[in-house]
Chains A and B, each alone.
Chain A
């Protein structure tokens, strides 16, 4: 029983990363209709930034947790204005290729400066212990990640659901043309929303630094699964991406724990789920069929 609870907990922690990344992808896709392939690269930059801040300027984890999302959000906004914006009117494939190219550039820039070897990053001392839950104990850092991510998702949810800004973003995400027709300037929200999505990826990166290998390819490995998560949740669906993120984390953890004799199954379960969902609900679990243009 305690083993099952531990694996469940782990699944939720793994899912927290998927949820943060998928949430950013979802708001970006909703607002801009851009499939941002560079999302994994920004996740990597978040982790690398935390490492560089610590190693070269002595900036601790907590400060990095604030600095990196802000800095990367800003970088995202600059990129949106400078390049992505110019291609949004064209076929989405153009921006997909553009962001894929950006990924390669960002990865290679980091590679040429820091090499491919993983960089060291220790868990902050205050979080390096374990928490005793009675039936089982669990690393404090993982408990922190889970709590922090859940809080963050709730906060995003609240902003989108209860504030005027959120109302505009939701409206523009789901029915951009109609929102424009009401006289709302959708365009001015595009850049900040892109920046926000990127900031979430950067935040996930900082959170990952103490428990994952920090190297230029860390995002490239993860992003494929995150795309599957977004598709399962429903492209552009904010709730769907978070729910699917945690769900896929759980399925992966249970798969690895109880199907470890069948590594092929635990490795591919995410994509099997994705295929099944696409057959059953082509728009994803929480997505809506788009009206033909």
Chain B
């Protein structure tokens, strides 16, 4: 209790200092920054299932943002003392909770980035609210971050279950087939995805003829009973929608190919897929599969140039999570630069309603009502092996989903 009073007093003091400064950002008023510096915190999975699609390479991406920010402003930068703290939350909510507190309280972190795994992401949102410090979630999918768990200091930056379901569910229903069979991992994320997809499919005039929750975690690694069942349903589904992620997705797709469901007239749609998943399965195993992507490295010249720089740093091509971490770090630094202070309330005010175009955010807008960051999303299709021109060039973009359509309207559950 005493601590939060202290934090509140400190932020009040910071507001006063900022208010009295009046010299503008160029005057180099270092006293407007807490501790005379800016510290960004990357909190994510660095050893487990999500460490490849984000992990340590997201720390690199944030460092790239800092370097680009310093190069852009030079001596006019609000400070040159910008650093990154990082921690492994192991996808565990309790670890995420304590690491986030440590970052804000003891490491002097001004803004936390990334935090995959929905349950962990929601815990960190509570910490950000309590400490009144900024939090840009990139790695997690749950719409609760902009729903019942929304708060003034939390921004949901890259994607969510609505975006995935709306993009893939709607377009696949219109273009591939109306009858779906949905296979989902039976826990919070999978159930949430199943609901979002069912809603999108029905709204697009399709129907879900069958759905099954597979055990999670699936220790046997076997999905054959579900895959055998799919083509025998009446009416026969034209699309198998799998909501599995990571290694479980790999198992489903390998066995989907083994049972030759595509030859039996059952196409494949994937709920959530990262470029790293396509890399492990090989494009041959996934050719023709559609999914919704938040960003693709080979989409245009701007993305490609950044992806080349990223590859020089890391030896691999970036996933959308890497690009989003770069972008969120950059937008935070820009907001501090514009405000001339790292006081959280002032920075939030500057971000709310802001319209942005950058590497990751195309036609981007930071929605003030619920802090959902809107941007273009993409309907992607995995190329056949023969069309893959270079390593990691695995998908073609079928359609750009405009920012205004890609995300849901602000939820009534969100009370800032």
Q: Does any Cβ of B come within 8 Å of A46's Cβ? A: no
Indicate if B413 sits at the interface (CB-CB under 8 A). no
Q: Does A225 contact B (CB under 8 A)?
A: yes
B251 touches A139 (CB 8 A): no
- With the chains together, A64 CA to B6 CA distance in Å? 64
Inter-chain residue pair count (beta carbon < 8 A): 101
Interface flags, B190-219, vs A, CB<8A=1, else 0: 000000000000000000000011110101
Q: Is the interface of A mostly helix, strand, loop or mixed?
A: helix
Q: Answer whether residue A93 sits at the interface, using C-beta atoms and an 8 A cutoff.
A: no
- A55 vs B277: C-alpha distance when bound (angstroms): 17
Say yes or no: A212-B251 contact (C-beta < 8 A), given A117-B276, A253-B224. yes
B49 on interface, CB distance cutoff 8 Å = yes
**Interface segment out of the listed A96-104, A171-179, A215-223, A272-280:** A215-223
Contact B225 A10 (CB under 8 A): yes
- Whether A116 pairs with B48 at a CB distance below 8 angstroms is yes
- Whether a CB of chain A sits under 8 angstroms from the CB of B88 is no
Q: Give the contact stretch, choosing among B279-287, B293-301, B376-384.
A: B279-287
Say yes or no for B186: interface residue by CB 8 A criterion: yes
Name the distance in Å between A119's Cβ and chain B's nearest Cβ: 6
Q: Judge whether A116 and B51 touch: CB under 8 Å.
A: yes
- The reply on A187 being an interface residue by CB < 8 A is no
Chain A residues with CB under 8 A of B214:
263
Contacts of B313 in A (CB 8 A): none
Closest chain A CB from B247 CB (angstroms): 4
Cβ of A266 under 8 Å from chain B? yes
CA distance A111 to B232 in the complex (A): 40
Verify B51–A115 contact, CB threshold 8 A. yes
Picked from A117, A260, A266, the residue with its CB within 8 Å of the CB of B280 is A117
Of B225, B250, B259, most A-chain CB atoms within 10 Å: B225
Name B258's contact: one of A115, A141, A225, A253 (CB within 8 Å). A141
A218 to B246, CA, bound (A): 12
Q: Identify which of A3, A115, A117, A218 gathers the most chain B CB atoms within 10 Å of its CB.
A: A117
CA distance A18 to B214 in the complex (A): 20
Distance of B231 from chain A, by nearest CB (Å): 10
Q: Give the CA-CA distance A224 to B257 in the complex, in Å.
A: 27
Are A120 and B282 in contact, with the CB atoms below 8 A? yes
A10 to B285 Cα, complex, angstroms: 21
Contacts of A210 in B (CB 8 A): 254
B221 near A222: Cβ-Cβ < 8 Å: yes
B255, A260: Cβ atoms under 8 Å?
no
Give the nearest-CB partner of A123 in chain B: B258
- Supposing A142-B258, A252-B220 touch, asked if A6 and B228 sit within 8 A by C-beta, the answer is yes
Other contacts beyond A122-B284, A211-B255, A253-B225: 14, CB < 8 A = A3-B228, A10-B225, A10-B228, A117-B276, A117-B280, A118-B247, A118-B281, A119-B280, A141-B258, A210-B254, A212-B254, A213-B248, A252-B222, A253-B222
> 10 nearest interchain CB pairs?
A213-B250, A257-B225, A256-B225, A213-B247, A267-B215, A118-B280, A117-B52, A118-B250, A120-B282, A10-B224
Can you give 19 A-B contacts (C-beta < 8 A)? Answer: A3-B228, A7-B224, A14-B224, A115-B51, A116-B47, A117-B279, A118-B280, A120-B281, A122-B282, A139-B260, A141-B258, A142-B258, A212-B221, A212-B251, A213-B250, A213-B251, A221-B217, A256-B226, A266-B215
